[in-house]
Amino acid sequence: MEKGNRSQSVDIAKGILIILVVIAHAQVDMVHDIIFMFHMPLFFVISGFLMKRETLVKVGYVRGKIKHLMIPYMTYLVLDMLLVRKTLSVHDWMYAIWGGRAVTGVYWYITCFIFTIFMLTILLRKFSNRIVKGLILVGGGIAILESHLLDRVHFLKFPGIPWNLDVALMALVYVGIGFFYKDKIKELLECDSRRFDLLSGLIAVALSLFCWFIYRNENQLYYFDMKPVYYKEFISALLIPCAFGMVLARLVYWMQKNKWLDSLNRFFVLCGQATIPIMFMHIPLNHWETELAYGRWIFVLIGAGLPIVSTILFHSNRVMRKLFGLPNL
C-alpha cells in the first residue's frame, strides 16, 4: 500500500479488512460470501486513496513497486510449495509460476495489483483525468464481459490469464475510485457529520436487508469474487462495495472517537500494518484445518495471530522486512 495521505484511520480500516479476509477464508458459508462482496474491492479502493499522482508518474516508480512486492511474493510462494504443499512436481510448479487462478491462495492479488498500478501510471501520463475515468469505465465493462464469457472459454476459467492480469481491469475501477475521490473518502473518515452518520446507518440497514434477502431459505441470489472473475453486473459491482465502504469509514471514525476503544484500535492498526504477512501466511498456516476440524475462530487465531507475532519479533531486521514484507513498526 502507498504511504501518501497515510493516517491511523486507514490502518484501522485495513486491519479490519484483513481480519475479515481471514474470517472469510476459514469456511465457505454465508459469512464468507458476504465478506467477499466487498473486502477485495475495498483493499483496491484504499490503495488508490493512498496513491499520489506525483509519485505515480515518476520514472522507476513501478519498477520499485515490483521489487518491493514481488520479493515477499516469491518468498512466501516458494516456502508454501516446499514446506506446506511439499511438492517438487513440475506440473505443480508450472501452475505456481503461472499464478493467478492456477494457484490456490491469495497470490493473485499482488500480481494483479502491480499490473493495476502499471496501467494507472500509463493512463495518468498520457491522458487527462476525464479521459482516464472514461477509459477505466470501459475497462470495467470489458471485465464484466469477460466474466460472462468465462463458462464458454475454458482457458479463461482455468488456468486463466497469467498472474490474474485480466482482473486488473476490474481492480482499476476500484483503485480509480480511491484515487479520484480521495477527498470524499477523507471526509467520511474524519468529518464530524450527522448527515454522514445518518446516511451510513441507513445504508447499513439496507445492506443487512439485502444480505437477508439474497440468502434467505439458503438461496444464493448474488455472488461476487474477483479472483475467479465472478462479477456479472457492473452496477452492483460498484455500488455494493462502495456502500460497505461508507459504513466501514464511519465505523472507523467512531472507533477513533471513543477512547475506551484505544486498545482495539491499536490492534487493528498493527493488523493494518502487517497486511502482507497476514495475507500470505493465514492460509498456509491453516493447511491442516480440514483434517483437524478446529473451526473458524481457531483458524482466525492462527491465521492472524502467528503473522502478527512474527511481525513484532522480526520487524526490526532489515532482511526479514524485505523478504517477508514485514512493516517497519
3-state secondary structure the chain: CCCCCCCHHHHHHHHHHHHHHHHHHHCCCHHHHHHHCCHHHHHHHHHHHHCCHHHHCCCCHHHHHHHHHHHHHHHHHHHHHHHHCCCCCHHHHHHHHHCHHHCCCCHHHHHHHHHHHHHHHHHHHHCCHHHHHHHHHHHHHHHHHHHHHCCCCHHHHCCCCHHHHHHHHHHHHHHHHHHHCHHHHHHHHHCCCHHHHHHHHHHHHHHHHHHHHHHHHHCCCCCCECCCCECCCHHHHHHHHHHHHHHHHHHHHHHHHCHHHHHHHHHHHHHHHCHHHHHHHHHHHCCCHHHHCCHHHHHHHHHHHHHHHHHHHHCCCHHHHHHHCCCCC
pTM of the model: 0.94
Grid coordinates in use for 133? 475515468
Q: Residue 123's CB: how many other CB atoms inside 10 A?
A: 20
Q: Residue 57's CB: how many other CB atoms inside 10 A?
A: 13
Confidence category of residue 152, pLDDT binned at 50, 70, 90: confident
Range of the domain at 288: 8-324
| 190 part of a folded domain | yes
| 2 part of a folded domain | no
| 329 part of a folded domain | no
Q: Are 62 and 121 in contact (CB under 8 A)?
A: yes
Q: Are 39 and 76 in contact (CB under 8 A)?
A: no
Q: Are 110 and 116 in contact (CB under 8 A)?
A: no
Average pLDDT over residues 225-237: 95
**Residues 35-66 pLDDT 10s:** 999 999 999 999 999 999 999 988 889 999 99
| 281 part of a folded domain | yes
Q: Which pLDDT value is given to residue 6?
A: 56
Compute the distance between CA of residue 278 and CA of residue 251 in angstroms, rounded to an integer: 22
Count of domains forming the chain: 1
Can you give the C-alpha Rg of the chain in angstroms? 19
Compute the distance between CA of residue 284 and CA of residue 118 in angstroms, rounded to an integer: 29
Compute the distance between CA of residue 199 and CA of residue 212 in angstroms, rounded to an integer: 20
| 160 part of a folded domain | yes
**Residues 279-310 pLDDT 10s:** 999 999 999 887 888 889 999 999 999 999 99
pLDDT at 4 over 50: no
pLDDT at 3 over 60: no
- Classify 222 in phi/psi space as left (phi over 0), alpha (psi -120 to 50) or beta: beta
| 230 part of a folded domain | yes
| 157 part of a folded domain | yes
Average pLDDT over residues 144-162: 90
**Residues 5-28 pLDDT 10s:** 457 999 999 999 999 999 999 998
pLDDT at 211 over 50: yes
Query: What are the CA-CA distances from residue 154 to residues 157, 158, 160, 179 (Å)?
Result: 5, 6, 8, 34
Q: Which residues contact 197 (CB under 8 A, 6 or more apart)?
A: 250
| 3 part of a folded domain | no
pLDDT at 319 over 60: yes
CA-wise closest residue to 170 among 208, 206, 224? 224
Q: Which pLDDT value is given to residue 5?
A: 42
